[in-house]
C-alpha cells in the first residue's frame, strides 16, 4: 500500500477525490483494511493519510475510527485529515465528532486545528467545552470560539 500511495501522490496533487473509479475504490478499501488490521502504527498512520485523500463516507468513517487508535501518531494524523477535509460543512461535522472523543489530548488537538467556525452545532460544542474542567480544553475551546466571533 505504501508504494501505491507514494506513486499516486507523485503522479497528482490530491484534492479529495470522489473514489468513483476502480483504482480509487481499491485504495480506500486497502487503506481501511490496513487501518483495521495492521500491527505497525506507521502503516495505520499511512492508511489514515490515504483515507484523507478521498471524499467518501467510508473514508470519513475510517478517519473517525482512527481517533480511537492505540497509537497517538495515528490519532493525530486523523485530526490532521479532519482539519484538512475539503468540504467546509463536512469538516465541521467531522470536527464535532472528534470533539466527542474521550481522550483529552485528541480534544485539545482538534480544538487547536479549528480554523473556521460557522456551524451552530460546532459553536454549541465549543461553548460547552469552554466550561470543561480541563484547563487546556477550556483555553483551546475559548480560542476556537473567538474564531466564531470574527
Q: Where are the domains of the chain?
A: 1-86, 88-150
Give the pLDDT of residue 3.
58
Give the pLDDT of residue 150.
58
Q: What is the model's pTM?
A: 0.84
**Run of H or E residues at 136:** helix 135-149
Grid coordinates standing for 80? 490532521
- CATH for 1-86? 1.25.10.10
Per-residue pLDDT of the chain (150 residues; tens, 9 = 90+): 555 555 554 443 444 555 567 788 899 999 999 999 999 999 999 999 999 999 899 999 999 999 999 999 999 999 999 999 989 999 999 999 999 999 999 999 999 999 888 889 999 999 999 999 999 999 999 999 998 775
d(CA 106, CA 81): 13
Same fold: 1-86 with 88-150 = yes
Give the pLDDT of residue 15.
45
**Run of H or E residues at 39:** none
- The architecture CATH gives domain 88-150: Alpha Horseshoe (1.25)
Q: What are phi and psi of 101, to 5 degrees?
A: -60, 145
Are 35 and 47 in contact by the 8 Å Cβ rule? The answer is yes
Amino acid at each position: 500500500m505504501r508504494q501505491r500511495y507514494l506513486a499516486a501522490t507523485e503522479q497528482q496533487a490530491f484534492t479529495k477525490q470522489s473514489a468513483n473509479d476502480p483504482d480509487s475504490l481499491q485504495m480506500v478499501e486497502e487503506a481501511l483494511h490496513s487501518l483495521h488490521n495492521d500491527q505497525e502504527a506507521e502503516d495505520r498512520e499511512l492508511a489514515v493519510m490515504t483515507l484523507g485523500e478521498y471524499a467518501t463516507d467510508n473514508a470519513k468513517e475510517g478517519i473517525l475510527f482512527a481517533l480511537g487508535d492505540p497509537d497517538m501518531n495515528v490519532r493525530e494524523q486523523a485530526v490532521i485529515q479532519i482539519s484538512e477535509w475539503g468540504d467546509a460543512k463536512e469538516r465541521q461535522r467531522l470536527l464535532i465528532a472528534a470533539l466527542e472523543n474521550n481522550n483529552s489530548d485528541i480534544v485539545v488537538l482538534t480544538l487547536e486545528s479549528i480554523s473556521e467556525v460557522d456551524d451552530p452545532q460546532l459553536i454549541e460544542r465549543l461553548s460547552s467545552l469552554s466550561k470543561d474542567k480541563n484547563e487546556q480544553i477550556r483555553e483551546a475551546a475559548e480560542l476556537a470560539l473567538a474564531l466564531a466571533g470574527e
